[in-house]
């Protein structure tokens, strides 16, 4: 596709129709605008006592 090869993410982002998704562990869906990704959060208090 590129004579020199792909040098960076910016090279890929310039391809017409490419959509950059700012998430990790992205999985494609049945259509271009449908995808899945994971999100992880943690909640702690000052004394590291588990919050129920």
DSSP letter string, 1-52: --SS---SHHHHHTSTT------SS-EE-SSTT-EE---------TT-PPP-
pLDDT number for residue 36: 93
Per the prediction, the chain carries an average pLDDT of 81
Residue 2 maps to a domain: no
Residue 46 maps to a domain: yes
* Per-residue pLDDT band at 2 (split at 50, 70, 90): low
Q: Is the pLDDT of residue 27 over 90?
A: yes
Residue 13 maps to a domain: no
pLDDT number for residue 6: 74
Number of domains in the chain: 1
Give me the domain span that covers residue 48: 19-52
pTM of the predicted structure, to 2 decimals? 0.49
* Per-residue pLDDT band at 41 (split at 50, 70, 90): confident
* Per-residue pLDDT band at 29 (split at 50, 70, 90): very high
Residue 1 maps to a domain: no
């Amino acid at each position: 596709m590129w004579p020199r090869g792909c040098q960076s993410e910016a090279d890929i982002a310039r391809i017409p129709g490419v959509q950059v998704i700012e998430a990790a562990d992205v999985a494609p869906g049945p259509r271009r605008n449908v995808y899945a990704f994971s999100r992880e959060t943690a909640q702690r208090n000052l004394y590291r006592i588990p919050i129920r």
